[in-house]
Structure 1
Amino acid sequence: MQAADAKGVGIQPLPLPMSRSTNGGLTRGALAAYAGPALPLAALTLPLYVILPSFYAGTVGLSLGLVGVILLGVRLFDALSDPIVGLLCDRFSPPLGRRRGWLLLGSVPAAVSAWMILTPPPEAGGLYLAGWGLALSLGYTATVIPYSAWGAELAESYHERSRIAAAREGMVLAGTLVAVSLPALFDGMRLGGTPEALGTLGLLVAVGLPGLALVAVARLPEPIEATRRPLRFREGLRHIRENKPFLRLLAAFVVNGFANGLPATLFLFFVARVLERPDLQGAFLFLYFLCGIAGVPIWLAVSRRTGKHKAWSLAMLGACAIFILVPMLGPGDLLAFSAICVLTGIALGADLALPASIQADVIDVDRLSSGARRSGLYFALWGLATKLSLALAVGVAFPLLDLAGFESGGAGPEGLGVLVALYAVVPVLLKLAAIALMWRFPLDETAQAALSTALREQERQRDAS
């Protein structure tokens, strides 16, 4: 290792402006520069899967069935591309490096595709949506995987990783708030309808994503390449299978993601049919995500006292205690539901920031055993798990509601009991299972420090040989 890596940071020196404070952590300016691209990246996810279907079916004029088939195909392509992009960004290095170079390369097609898909011409058809949807999916994946891997490699200390993940995920929530708010803002201020709101969002992404990526690249260094030799495919799979902390974390993440995906999928139905206030759907969503932003620093502070896995478990346990009250709600219980949105929103901050930080720790286990730094592949598998959780939520909830006779636009009691059970009861059971997996998680601060020491010694021996 270079002399600058004597403390195991694994980061190349950077000219002024300095990226690190006197205690070795990123300065606030460097942290803000790293977190910046998460804002436009987050704004891409919600419109693609929530706003675009109704926009292309209603305003553009495509059939709802055609839009559904196209977006399903885009989602499948998106899932399949994750591990491929993860492998590529670990193995191949553009001029600016495996993390910074891929971030810049991916941000440009993602920005162009976002603009095109959010501002379709009047004659746009199914091929237009499919082509730009696939381009956006690939550009987004090629941006977000090296970006997440970069964050994991910017620090080797247990709590600094949480700080970096918290900054990024807080910006993700802010971007989600922007995406949620723009249509309602344009409508309320009479600035236009959905086309104008999506056009503004497209412009913000088209300018903001490559611009903020460039700021991050200029402000922060490229991690030193720690891979001594590329692994053969079977050998790489063997190291993943033997990484027990990763498999345990992944299982907990999928289960908890499924628990979060069910109420997210059914949120609009619950507000419209159980609370009987469809006009407040946007307001409740805004409140939930706003409190998610507030929750990030709270759980970051808790994790410094309890450890990351315990803090995450406590957040999930708190969400269970709050969410089990949801079946008691009925028409007009708006204040109680607002309180539930506030408290579960705060718990959401832990769900976003802490698992991503623990992921950086379990990558160290693989690095020590395999001799390769494969953060891109690990975060690709992480992204695949996220998409699997969301797909499970839709694939389970909608057929069960259909069997129960539930109708989204209906007015009777048919299927409401199943809706409430799927929205509130099943997620609590799932979260309890995730807590059981994480409560005694083996990688705490002491174990991670020992891993870092072993990695430094491994590097020292390799450099000496």
Structure 2
Amino acid sequence: MGLSLAAIGTAMMLARLVDIGVDPFIGVASDRMRSRFGRRRPFLVVGALVVILGMAQLFNPAKGVGLVYFLGWLAVMYAGFSLVQVTHRAWGAELSPHYHERTHISSVRQFFSTAGLIVSTLVPALVLSQAGAKSSDVLSSLSWMMAIVLPITVALNLWLTPEPAPGPLPPRQPIDWKGLWRALRRNGPLRCILLVLFVGFSAETFRQTLTVFYARDVIGVPNLGMIYVYYFISAFVGVPAWRWFAKHTSKHQALAAGMVIAIATNLGLYFLGKGDVALFTAMFIIKGVCFGALDLLPAAMLADAADVDTAITRKSRVGMLFAVSGVVTNLGQAVGQGVSLNALSWVGYRAAGETNAAALTS
């Protein structure tokens, strides 16, 4: 599309901010849904279709489209992901009331999620290995993969996963934003989880966005796609280890350990120089092991915090709480994407690589 990094970063931030307004309504609507198909299932199906549509339009743009097109379809794709993620995670949280079983459920979800990430990183590596392949070919291939694989996985989820019977439907009334805020203020564990999600996602999104350019122009990595394959394979292997660690210590101690290791490796990357590809790869693999902890444990902890909310409010609002976590996550990603890409533009870096590496290390 020929957009600058600043324009892309701003558009991604705005799309995330728009998505923030969508998440609470998804959570409330799925909590209140009563149908013969279940509460969460209809939202999962609609979300999958919206994701496929948004990705197809965003990754296969016609010639001459600009920023408005990019922003609009990006917002559509993000809304689809929210429909899928909020309902899927709330559904998983309701499968068991037991502390350690929730960690097990989150680890299974993370196991398959990481397997999907491995496949999605293999696609660019395989496409770009072909003579004459371009980045547009990678995007097109990813959109086709999503259109084929997502309906299959959603169908398997609908077929194989039971959905707990909902409680009595409360009287229909508008969202009590003040009551929700009061309940959040009284729920200490939830406040801590949300703070960790915001700090973690804003920092990691900032780091991930810069890594693409830092690896290519500072370290000189020839094929970052393959390093991300190693990254997600190590995350895949690390999921059972984090589940074991959380069971034998506690979820918050395991999460703290994962975050400390991730921070240490992020700091270490800064001291690498041109040609340190082997060290860069090794540190990325260590970070990959931590990826499972940073994603699966907050979801399991949020399910526990939902019990505290139920005790405070006498209501089951699992969907709403996962929507609130989605709001916080989207806000963190908006900050990370918007600040990082605009910062690159401010220091004079261009994505096409016309500038030297000094712009990334200054």
Task: Specify if TM > 0.5.
Answer: yes
Structure 1: distance between partners of 2:226 and 2:238: 18
| Deviation larger for 327-336 or 187-196 | 187-196
Report what 2:187 is aligned to. 243
Q: What is the rounded CA distance, in whole Å, between the counterparts of 1:132 and 1:295 in structure 2?
A: 35
Q: Which residue of 2 aligns with 1:147?
A: 88
Equivalent in the alignment of 1:111: 52
Which residue is 1:416 aligned to? 361
Q: Pick the structure with greater CA Rg.
A: 1
Task: Give the equivalent residue in structure 1 for 2:294.
Answer: 351
User: What residue is the counterpart of 2:76 in the other structure?
Assistant: 135
1:249 is displaced (CA, Å) by 1.3
- Cα deviation for residue 404 of structure 1 reads 5.8
Which residue does the alignment assign to 1:293?
236
- Structure 1 range deviating more: 291-300 or 316-325: 316-325
Other-structure match for 2:153: 212
What is the match of residue 325 of structure 2? 382
Q: For residue 205 of structure 1, give the secondary structure of its aligned residue in structure 2.
A: helix
- RMSD of Structure 2 on Structure 1 (CA): 2.9
With CA pairs under 8 Å and 6+ residues apart, which has the higher RCO, 1 or 2?
2
Aligned twin of 2:118: 177
1:40-439 map, 5 Å: 56-57=1-2, 71-121=12-62, 129=70, 131-190=72-131, 192-226=133-167, 229=170, 233=176, 234-275=178-219, 277-398=220-341, 409=353, 410-411=355-356, 413=358, 416-417=361-362
Deviation at 1:399, TM superposition (A): 5.4
CA displacement at 1:137 relative to structure 2 = 3.0
Displacement of 1:112 in angstroms is 3.5
Conservation of the 8 A alpha-carbon contact between 2:17 and 2:330 = no
Look up the equivalent residue of 1:303 and give its one-letter code. Answer: A
How far the C-alpha of 1:196 sits from its partner, in A, is 4.1
Report the Cα distance in structure 1 between the residues aligned to 2:317 and 2:281, rounded to whole angstroms.
42
Match of 1:438 in 2: none
Assess, with a 3 A threshold, how the Cα gap between structure 1 residues 361 and 341 changes in structure 2: closer, same or farther.
same
- Kindly state the Cα deviation for residue 108 of structure 1 after the two structures are TM-superposed: 2.7
Structure 1 range deviating more: 154-163 or 209-218: 209-218
Could you tell me how far apart the structure 2 residues matched to 1:126 and 1:261 are? 22
Q: Cα deviation per residue 1:52-84 (whole Å; 9 max; x = unaligned)?
A: xxxx43xxxx78887666555433322221122
Deviates more, 1:316-325 or 1:208-217: 316-325
Check 1:191–1:371 CA distance in 2 against 1; reply closer, same or farther (3 A cut): farther
- 1:265 alignment partner AA: T
Question: Are 2:6 and 2:341, in contact at CA under 8 Å, matched by a contact in 1?
Answer: no
Give the match's secondary structure for 2:222.
helix
Question: Identity across aligned pairs (percent)?
Answer: 30
| DSSP 3-state at the match of 1:325 | helix
- Count of matched residue positions in the alignment of Structure 1 and Structure 2: 357
Query: What is the alpha-carbon distance in structure 1 between the residues aligned to residue 68 and residue 360 of structure 2?
Result: 37
With over 3 angstroms needed to count, the CA separation of the structure-2 counterparts of 1:98 and 1:326, relative to structure 1, is same
Unpaired stretches in structure 1, ≥5 consecutive residues:
1-55, 418-465
Q: Deviations over 1:227-269 (max 9, x none)?
A: 6635750333322221111011111221222332232121123
AA aligned to 1:311 is: A
Identify if the C-alpha distance between structure 1 residues 68 and 323 changes in structure 2 by more than 3 Å, giving closer, same or farther: closer
TM-score (normalised: structure 2): 0.86
Using a 3 Å threshold, how does the CA distance of structure 1 residues 134 and 108 change in structure 2: closer, same or farther? same
Look up the equivalent residue of 1:165 and give its one-letter code.
Answer: S
* Aligned residue type for 2:116: G
Distance in 1, Cα, partners of 2:348 & 2:55: 38
